[in-house]
Chain A
Amino acid sequence: MVSLFDYKVSELHQLLHKKELTVTDLVSESYKRIGEVEDKVQAFLTIDEERAREAAKKMDEKIGTDEAKGLLFGMPIGVKDNIVTKGLRTTSASKILENFDPIYDATVASKLHNAETITIGKLNMDEFAMGSSNENSGFQVTRNPWNLERVPGGSSGGSAASVAAGEVLFSLGSDTGGSIRQPASYCGVVGLKPTYGRVSRFGLIAFASSLDQIGPITRTVEDNAYLLQAISGVDPMDSTSANVEVPSYAENLTGDVKGLRIAVPKEYLAEGVDEEVRKSVLDALKVLEKLGATWEEVSLPHSKYALATYYLLSSSEASANLARFDGVRYGYRTADPESLIDLYKKTRAEGFGDEVKRRIMLGTFALSSGYYDAYYKKAQKVRTLIKQDFENVFDKYDVIIGPTAPTPAFKIGENTSDPLTMYANDILTIPVNLAGVPGISVPCGFADGLPLGLQIIGKHFDESTVYRVAHAFEQATEFHKQKPGL
């Protein structure tokens, strides 16, 4: 089916400029599609139609005038529900924040206002971004638009599914261990985790502060570059945001990868990776070779320790970050507590879901007296080794390429009985967060009608090269043009 969202931002802007299209048309396209498919996909937790239509009307009045227009003027966007939006309910998909009405905007939300996007609604996720399937949402399970019995991936499952289903032009997600790239892979869209520090985390409801990054999910690499452009940059409200120049990402999409040196870690194509996934990556490498790139097999020898390192560090950080949800200043509060401590304990027991509690428990244990050195500090040391693995490879190569996930999207309910099996889905994305480098997932094939993703990883703050390679691959292939038959 034809949709306005088959066009890229640059094409939509031309149509707006020529007055062949209005912003109201774009917003209507979103809500029309939501009306058609949302009961099946269930990507949204909150829909903000009235304000979106009002904003569209105002923007339409600007068309044809000399008034300055934002970089993403009139483009309909969905925002993951762990990004706080002033006056628009933000839950992080948790019962503990079910009625939370933020009183300020996250920096990325302010930047979207400046770029003049239109927020269509807030998107479902695993509770507090802890999960790989959206099955941990406190409210609903988002479905994969390619196959409604499959998960969309997670934790940014709503963000990826809404884009794949054509409910929005693009969306924002967040990625702590793969939460943008894995759902992008499962839903056949483009998702980038920027370099740690590239995008401000102010107003992102924190899961693991040393790993979390907000990033764009789009249909094309070019739109991804535009959306990252709009949200990047140092922010006085986030002291971990980096004071590094933000290049013009779209300008670097030259299609030229001649002489590019690609490293392919043998650990990323090893046992546990589906044969079809492996084949799609090897085919992708052939495409890039034809375009003039070269590739060699390398080793990231500490890859097998990444999962354990990640779960210790992210759970430890989460246990500290989630201490703020205590039923006192905002959020859910238990009825009739006997004492203050009883209020804390019951509020948290009733407000948090099972997976969130499990990680708070693991993190609290790893940070507790007598165990800190053996677990938390040990994991921090192994993180150094994992980071060094990447530095060694990037001494000689421009990018690292592998699959985004070891399998295509799995069935709803298939991995819920054992947390450790569920965690294994993130084995190829987690090391990237531990090293803090940027990584993208672009569509690179299908297995049984389910999309597969190619992961391209770059050096710190070198999103430009990552985009250039992703774009060259995308332009040489047809995978991104396919749409789910919803």
Chain B
Amino acid sequence: MSRISTDQVRHVAHLARLAMTEEETVAYTEQLDKMISFAELLNELDTDHVEPTSHVLDMKNVLREDKANKGLPQEEVLKNAPEHQDGYIKVPSIIE
């Protein structure tokens, strides 16, 4: 049984903000299906009473003094922007 459909792959590609051709959609469906089946190996294990690990070190709430530091100069920050004007980064219009 297939674990993921082309429709689901289309949906995931939209969530991931990746444009995808029909051909790619079909190829990714096949590859993801393989990877997901492989990942289902984990279902052999009973993990009902196991706590998840998101981070290996026993540390939380790393705080620092609430002190303002100087940021990077605007000119520098805009240096790598594909398009900018008057100190702003330009993108296609969002409101019609």
Contact = CB atoms under 8 A, between A and B. Distances in A.
Interface stretch (A65-73, A259-267, A307-315): A307-315
B82 interface: yes
Interface stretch (A4-12, A126-134, A357-365): A357-365
Contacts of A1: none
B68 interface: no
A83 B81 CA distance: 20
B62 to A, nearest CB: 4
Contacts of B9: 361
B47 to A, nearest CB: 4
Given A328-B91, A333-B83, A345-B18, A361 B39 contact: no
Interface string A186-227: 000000000011000000000000100000000000000000
Interface in B41-56: 41-45, 47, 50-56
Chain A contact residues, majority secondary structure: helix
Contacts of A419: 31, 34-35
Nearest to A210: B55
Chain B contact residues, majority secondary structure: loop
A420 B38 contact: yes
Interface residues of A, number: 68
A343 interface: yes
B52 to A, nearest CB: 3
A17 B32 CA distance: 58
A385 B52 CA distance: 9
B42 A339 contact: no
Contacts of A411: none
A346 B4 CA distance: 24
A60 interface: no
Contacts, number: 158
A377 B64 CA distance: 30
Given A330-B80, A337-B92, A360-B18, A387 B35 contact: no
B58 to A, nearest CB: 10
In which size bucket is the chain B interface? Answer: 35 or more
A380 B39 CA distance: 13
Contacts of A228: none
Contacts of B64: 236
A435 B94 CA distance: 45
Given A345-B17, A384-B50, A361 B32 contact: yes
B57 interface: yes
A145 interface: no
A2 interface: no
A302 B20 CA distance: 37
A308 B42 contact: yes
B36 A365 contact: yes
A338 B18 contact: no
Interface of B: 4, 8-9, 12-13, 15-20, 28, 31-32, 34-36, 38-39, 41-45, 47, 50-57, 59, 62, 64, 72, 76-77, 79-83, 89, 91-92, 94
Given A358-B31, A387-B56, 13 more contacts: A103-B72, A196-B57, A305-B42, A311-B35, A328-B89, A331-B80, A361-B9, A361-B16, A362-B32, A365-B36, A380-B53, A381-B53, A460-B57
